[in-house]
Amino acid sequence: MRDVSELFKGQKDLESLKTLIHLAQELAIARDHPQLCSISLAVPYTEPLAVLDSVFDKNVPQFYIENTALKESHAAAEAIIQKTDLHTKHRFIETQKWINEWKDNCVCVSDPNLFLKGPVFFSGFPFTEESVEDKAYVFVPRWHVSRKGNKYVAIANFLIDENTDTNQYAHFLWSLHEKFITYDYSSLSKESDGPEIELEPREEFGNSTSYKKWVQEGIHNIQNSKLDKIVLARCKTYKTHSLQLVLLLNRLRHQFKECYTFAFSPGEGKFFIGATPERLAMTEVGKLKTVAIAGSAPRGKTVSSDARLSHELLKSSKDLSEHTYVIDSIRRRLKKLGIEIKAQDTPHLLQLANVQHLQTFIEADIKEASILEIIDVLHPTAAVGGIPNQLAKEKIATIENWDRGYYAGPIGWLDTQGNGEFVVGIRSMRIYKNQVSVFAGAGIVNASNPEKEFTETELKFEAILKALGI
């Protein structure tokens, strides 16, 4: 990436924009390759979800993620470059190669001391590369706004090639810039939870009877093969005519402040949204952070019952064993990249509205591995796939009679400086046309009880269905 910020010495006017576009066009001609231009500016208070709401178009690619507790969020839309042909087991490595190609053909201008600058690549990957329901999709947006604490950044991206009318394009971009810096929040609709969401139950994959049979089959495989753990998931589908996406996201971010509220769309009206508690990987300044989440229990209805359930979870041999499986799996997989992890000595509780989990934070120093290389070895984690990884994926495909699509897949972003963050797409739903598909799963080990595992998935459904008004 070529950073030419010093050439402009902080000047932000139409003539400077024209100069940047002319420079990019000269490079495009010299390299015989379009140039990705990126302008990153510090901006005053910005609410990314409100900006997304103001320009919402269900037919264009878009991305949103927010962790309310951490005061971090991103919103982005309209693809200027995209990658779609990612159908092999090497899809993460292929994505990195594609990003590297554009990194070598990128011109960047930015304000000093920003927490984020240059183009950001947003992506969603299905659970397996064989998915027919959903396809891997990676894109750089035309516009992107981001918040970190009390700092805000706006990023504009555009393509320049040898045929670009540089003068006309400069005036077009300048008009968009002026519109953004004078963004008027008072023009937005008044705060409202919107109309009631009307849902009509349709098909269910993994009802009470069939899911318990799946669990029994999973236990049988564990007892009679090299399988140690398998995660089996269910899907409930509904018909709807009244769902407003941004209002639903607003509900999720307020109901699940400890989670990552997200929305990903490759365009054409298809959305994958949710509120996941699970970070798959985050890289920043040579550091990797991930988390092990496995072992679950309901929340109590009283202080005393809640404390009892928490104590039982922390002492449960079945849940502690399942949790240890996940940590050990992360350790083994990252060691393939020469990465040694540092995990907390004992798990602690992650307490959500209606369910609680065992959670262990994990960190590591990284030197050369990119976040996509890390995801390549981590996904699917033992928390959503099983142990050993490949055998669990094969058994999931034979036991579950539905296509997970984006469910439990990696959803996230990365920049050109080695920073990025991906979450695991659980506690989630797919929205397409007039159908909503909601997902939930549970980890199965030798000590699992089919009735209890079914109840656990019902608890997880309850959390996401509450946002839908059920």
DSSP string, 315-331: H-HHHHHHHHHHHHHHH
Q: Where are the alpha helices (DSSP H) in 257-315?
A: 303-315
| H, E, C per residue of 354-423 | CEEEEEEEEEEECCCCCHHHHHHHHCCCCCCCEECHHHHHHHHHHHCCCCCCCCCCEEEEECCCCCEEEE
d(CA 222, CA 448): 11
Residue of 425, 423, 422 whose CA lies nearest to 438: 425
> Left, alpha or beta for 380 (phi > 0: left; psi -120 to 50: alpha)?
beta
Helices (H) then strands (E): counts for the chain: 12, 22
The token pair that represents 106 in the structure block = 């990128």
The catalytic site residues sit at 229, 278
- Helix H or strand E encompassing 73: strand 72-83
CA dihedral 465, 467, 469, 470 (to 10 degrees): 10
Give the integer Cα–Cα distance in Å for 73 and 51: 12
Which DSSP letter does residue 433 get? Answer: T
CA distances from 156 to 38, 40, 79, 352 (A): 6, 7, 11, 36
